[in-house]
């Protein structure tokens, strides 16, 4: 049976949540760009501190780390460490033919935990809130991983 | 209908462009290795500045950041932030049954923008050229993401 | 023919090895957390050096880099640069309908090389051991990539 087709509701749920996560992670790059423009600094490439159309008054200080920009880079790094794992384990999880409700629950809780994590880090809330939300996403990845192994070992 | 098979031309186009991007990103690691060997420094692990077959004359300065090596690491990081998103959204895009021409256009423009981005960063061209090429790749990811959502919501 | 189903033994082998790599990479984040708790430092977010339930006696030194923690972060970064490529090229390799033996060999050598790499970096063994094991994983990714291209070009 072919489960990786949009005729399968679980795969449609997965596709929507996967796209939300892809758009979120791609947009984190734009948030970093926005912040570099706003503070006119936090650059990393030496050529960015040279005179150009986008930088008419360059200075060497533009290459110093800027916490406002670095926060967005750390958020991006957190995406890089988590989102590709969700995308891949979610795809394999769909191959275990979960019930539509289970799939919808798994994917939507993950996405909600990540968007809440995004908000909490962006606004520099407490470490406890950040850690809790990251743990929720992490547990969902482990549960989906376990489900895949369990399903495969039955063959 | 099963679209994730090499009988489907759009999936064949995707497989070729995906492999090109995978080989590119894997090779960035080798470029970093090549640069570390060339400058005999820019290492990150303390154990790399100890005497060994590959490092007969170690010194603590080998652990200092070296811009020639760091540039390759930043290029690798840019791949890490972008290529897995292309791989995944491209796979989902194939599931929307795009026309062969649309799929070929989307994938080939992305690959060309990434290889041009590689050249522009490697040779430290202007920030404007780098930003424009990254934007092209980013827009293609957003367009494929939007197409997937649009297609799924029709069901 | 649909190859991306658990009826196909090669895809089952892939799913198990993919899950092992996903669990490994997810767990590296927990190893970093464990090490930060153990040394009570190596934090990156300014809000983590504020008083809270998890941090009753904060100090600004908790934000300084700590090599014990940084090693785990570098291991995580190495995963980020390698494992998504394996996951994706492995999926495409299954689409080339490899023999079960070839698939099992390719996937299991990759996983063994990565777990050995994990042990060697965790215990700070010689650069030569680390480089050799990374090379093994890298070669397997190139071989699978070449097989995909070769298979697609026959159509």
Q: Dump pLDDT digits (tens) for B40-82.
A: 999 999 999 999 888 999 999 999 999 999 999 999 999 999 9
Q: CB distance B29–C142 less than 8 Å?
A: no
- Please check the confidence at residue A72 and state whether its pLDDT lies above 90: yes
Q: CB distance A29–B138 less than 8 Å?
A: yes
> B145 to chain A: nearest residue by CA?
A19
A75-120 per-position pLDDT tens digit: 999 999 999 999 999 999 999 999 999 999 999 999 999 999 999 9
Per the CB < 8 A criterion, the answer to whether A145 and A89 are in contact is yes
The mean pLDDT value for A27-35 works out to 98
Q: CB distance C80–B80 less than 8 Å?
A: yes
Structure tokens at B54: 């590959």
Of the candidates C11, C80, C88, the beta carbon closest to that of A80 is on C80
pLDDT score of C80: 98
pLDDT score of A155: 83
Structure tokens at C97: 């309908």
- Please check the confidence at residue A60 and state whether its pLDDT lies above 90: yes
Q: CB distance C26–A142 less than 8 Å?
A: yes
- Please check the confidence at residue A58 and state whether its pLDDT lies above 80: yes
Shortest alpha-carbon distance between residue A57 and chain C (Å):
30
Q: Which residues of B touch A12 (CB under 8 A)?
A: 152, 155
- Please check the confidence at residue C1 and state whether its pLDDT lies above 90: no
Per the CB < 8 A criterion, the answer to whether B35 and B72 are in contact is yes
- Please check the confidence at residue A53 and state whether its pLDDT lies above 90: no
Of the candidates B22, B45, B76, the beta carbon closest to that of C127 is on B45
Residue C126: burial class (beta carbons within 10 Å; 0-12, 13-18, 19+): middle
Q: DSSP code of A117?
A: H
Per the CB < 8 A criterion, the answer to whether A110 and A137 are in contact is yes
Of the candidates A16, A22, A54, the beta carbon closest to that of B85 is on A22
Shortest alpha-carbon distance between residue B16 and chain C (Å):
6
Q: CB distance B76–C74 less than 8 Å?
A: no
Residue A143: burial class (beta carbons within 10 Å; 0-12, 13-18, 19+): middle
Shortest alpha-carbon distance between residue B137 and chain C (Å):
19
pLDDT score of B16: 98
Q: CB distance B128–A52 less than 8 Å?
A: yes
Distance CA C60, CA C63 (A): 6
Residues of chain B predicted below pLDDT 50: none
C53-84 per-position pLDDT tens digit: 889 999 999 999 999 999 999 999 999 999 99
C53 versus A22: the higher-pLDDT residue is A22
Q: Which residues of A touch C62 (CB under 8 A)?
A: none
Sequence-ordered list of residues with C-beta below 8 angstroms from that of A147, at least 6 positions apart, any chain:
A93, A96, A98
> A4 to chain C: nearest residue by CA?
C4
Share of chain C above pLDDT 90, in %: 95
Sequence-ordered list of residues with C-beta below 8 angstroms from that of A7, at least 6 positions apart, any chain:
none
Give the predicted TM-score (pTM) of the model.
0.97
Measured N-to-C along each axis, helices A67-94 and A9-39 cross at an angle, to the nearest 10 degrees, of 170
Q: CB distance C81–B16 less than 8 Å?
A: no
C98-114 per-position pLDDT tens digit: 999 999 999 999 999 99
Among B78, A77, A25, residue whose Cα is nearest residue C76: A77
Distance CA A23, CA A26 (A): 5
pLDDT score of C54: 86
C119-141 per-position pLDDT tens digit: 999 999 999 999 999 999 999 99
Per the CB < 8 A criterion, the answer to whether A32 and A26 are in contact is no
**Three-state secondary-structure class, residue B18:** helix
Q: CB distance B95–A48 less than 8 Å?
A: no
Structure tokens at B138: 């980013």
pLDDT score of B112: 98
Model confidence at C155, in pLDDT bands (50, 70, 90)?
A: confident
Distance CA B38, CA A47 (A): 22
- Characterise A65 by phi-psi region: left (phi > 0), alpha (psi -120 to 50), beta (else): beta
Distance CA C145, CA C148 (A): 5
* Interface test with chain C among B15, B16, B25, B103, by most C beta carbons within 10 Å: B15
């Amino acid at each position: 049976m072919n489960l990786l087709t949009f005729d399968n509701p679980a795969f449609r749920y997965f596709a929507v949540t996967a796209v939300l996560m892809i758009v979120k992670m791609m947009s984190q790059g734009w948030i970093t760009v926005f912040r570099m423009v706003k503070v006119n600094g936090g650059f990393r490439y030496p050529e960015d501190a040279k005179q150009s159309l986008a930088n008419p008054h360059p200075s060497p200080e533009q290459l110093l780390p800027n916490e406002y920009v670095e926060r967005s880079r750390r958020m991006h790094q957190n995406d890089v460490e988590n989102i590709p794992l969700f995308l891949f384990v979610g795809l394999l999880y769909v191959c275990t033919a979960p019930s539509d409700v289970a799939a919808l629950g798994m994917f939507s809780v993950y996405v909600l935990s990540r968007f809440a994590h995004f908000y909490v880090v962006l606004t520099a809330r407490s470490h406890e809130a950040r850690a809790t939300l990251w743990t929720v996403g992490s547990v969902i990845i482990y549960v989906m991983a376990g489900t895949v192994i369990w399903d495969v070992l039955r063959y």
